[in-house]
Amino acid sequence: MTFKKVIRVLRNILIFFFLSTIFAVVAYKYIPVYVTPLMIIRCGEQIIDGEKPILRHKWVPIEKISKHLPMAVIASEDNRFPAHNGFDMVEIKKAMKENETRRKKRGASTISQQTAKNVFLWPRSSWIRKGFEVYFTALIELAWSKERIMEVYLNSIEMGKGIYGAEAAAQYKFNTKAAKLSKGQCALIAATLPNPIRFNSANPSSYILRRQQQILRLMRLLPPFPEK
């Protein structure tokens, strides 16, 4: 293959990548996200482990999700979510400074970044994935409203083994609907999000209960989301 043909092939691949990803982001501005790469990967992992694959997920509009849950995840995961452009430079700088002396590195991913990763990418961290994550985060911040990002996040986030999104978490953790989750239940869900497989919001450890109280206190201090 000649050099010119290689350049042409690479150009066509790049054009296809940008057009297809932009189309997907614009499409998801309007249509529900019924399945994500993470859901498929987790099912594959369960099959490899000899288990029956579990996938519990039901998309619901944000109007049918308790108003306390967006506040709880903002308090727990991303205090400046309503104001930043997808990347919290304050937390990034803070994490970089802390990581100079920490053995276990701390991340500074925003809700926007987690949404981009959940919907378009794979869970295993790498510099390549981080690069794609930055790209998709910029796209969804440009194309979607903050409320839409939150709606997709709350419907796609992993909330337990085989459990994805607010409606499934409400049903299988608390035997209720997402719209009826209490403030305390929402804070429990948010408290487990750093590791929802290890921590169980339906059967919280003393650590999760302490986190719940911290989140509840912070929820009282934050402005309402979405703004009234």
Q: State the pLDDT at residue 105.
A: 62
Contact indicator for 170, 163 with CB cutoff of 8 Å: no
Average pLDDT of every residue of the chain: 92
Which CA distances in Å does 9 have to 16, 17, 47, 163, 167? 11, 12, 37, 41, 44
Q: State the pLDDT at residue 91.
A: 83
Residue 3 pLDDT class (50, 70, 90 cuts): confident
Distance, in Å, from the CA atom of 149 to the CA atom of 130, rounded to the nearest integer, reads 19
Average pLDDT over residues 124-132: 89
Contact indicator for 69, 166 with CB cutoff of 8 Å: yes
Task: Label residue 21 exposed, middle or buried (CB < 10 Å: 0-12, 13-18, 19+).
Answer: middle
Per residue in 145-204, pLDDT (tens digit) is: 999 999 999 999 999 999 999 999 999 999 999 999 999 999 999 999 989 999 999 999
Q: State the pLDDT at residue 194.
A: 86
Per residue in 34-80, pLDDT (tens digit) is: 999 999 999 999 999 999 999 999 999 999 999 999 999 999 999 99
Per residue in 81-124, pLDDT (tens digit) is: 999 999 988 887 887 777 766 666 666 789 999 999 999 998 88
Asked whether the bond before 226 is cis by omega within 30 degrees of 0, the reply is: yes
pTM, rounded to two decimals: 0.92
